[in-house]
Amino acid sequence: MTRFESPLAGSALHKFLIIHRHLRQYGRQMDDQGIRPRQFSVLRFLQENGPATVGEVQEYLYTSASTASTVISQLEESGLVSRTRSEEDNRVVIVELTSAGSALADETPLGGIPLLRRRLRALPEERLRIIDQALTDIMELMEVSDTE
């Protein structure tokens, strides 16, 4: 904290920077295991929810359709997921884990955003409201749009 910050503002910034650093370190750990954090998130999503459409993966990642497709393609090229057309609607593509993808999801330590997702689900509604408002405030302070 500098002499120009209030102790509470300095503490809040410090905690934010610790989270940011932790996410970057977790991302590097994933890189060391040969997988990107976003790819690992898809593996965990499929492991916990079963086969999903490309649109469901896109929604889970909060990304564009092209980004979700790219992540899925990378996972497919690595033999971690497979894609098939839906029998009910040929336009729909279903993504599911291969045995290698399932094994990697099992072996990789849960951390970063996948861990946050899991633990947020367990919080009471009131705590979630408080966290949501605090994050909204941070976004506004940093002039971050939710469309970025």
- Answer yes or no: do 134 and 145 share one domain: yes
Give dist(CA 30, CA 35) in Å, integer: 5
Residue 76 phi, psi (nearest 5): -65, -45
What is the total count of domains within the chain?
3
- Answer yes or no: do 78 and 63 share one domain: yes
- Answer yes or no: do 74 and 19 share one domain: no
- Answer yes or no: do 69 and 118 share one domain: no
Helix, strand, or coil here: 140?
helix
- Answer yes or no: do 14 and 39 share one domain: no
- Answer yes or no: do 44 and 27 share one domain: no
Per-residue pLDDT of the chain (148 residues; tens, 9 = 90+): 556 678 899 899 999 999 999 999 888 888 877 888 899 999 999 999 999 999 999 999 999 989 999 999 999 999 999 999 988 898 999 999 999 999 999 988 888 888 898 899 999 999 999 999 999 999 999 999 877 5
- Answer yes or no: do 53 and 81 share one domain: yes
Q: Which domain holds residue 25?
A: 1-32
The sign of the torsion formed by the CA atoms of 79, 81, 87, 91 equals negative
Contact 51, 96 (CB under 8 A): yes
Instruction: Give helix 54-61 / helix 65-77 axis angle, nearest 10°.
Output: 110
Which amino acid does the sequence have at 82? Answer: S
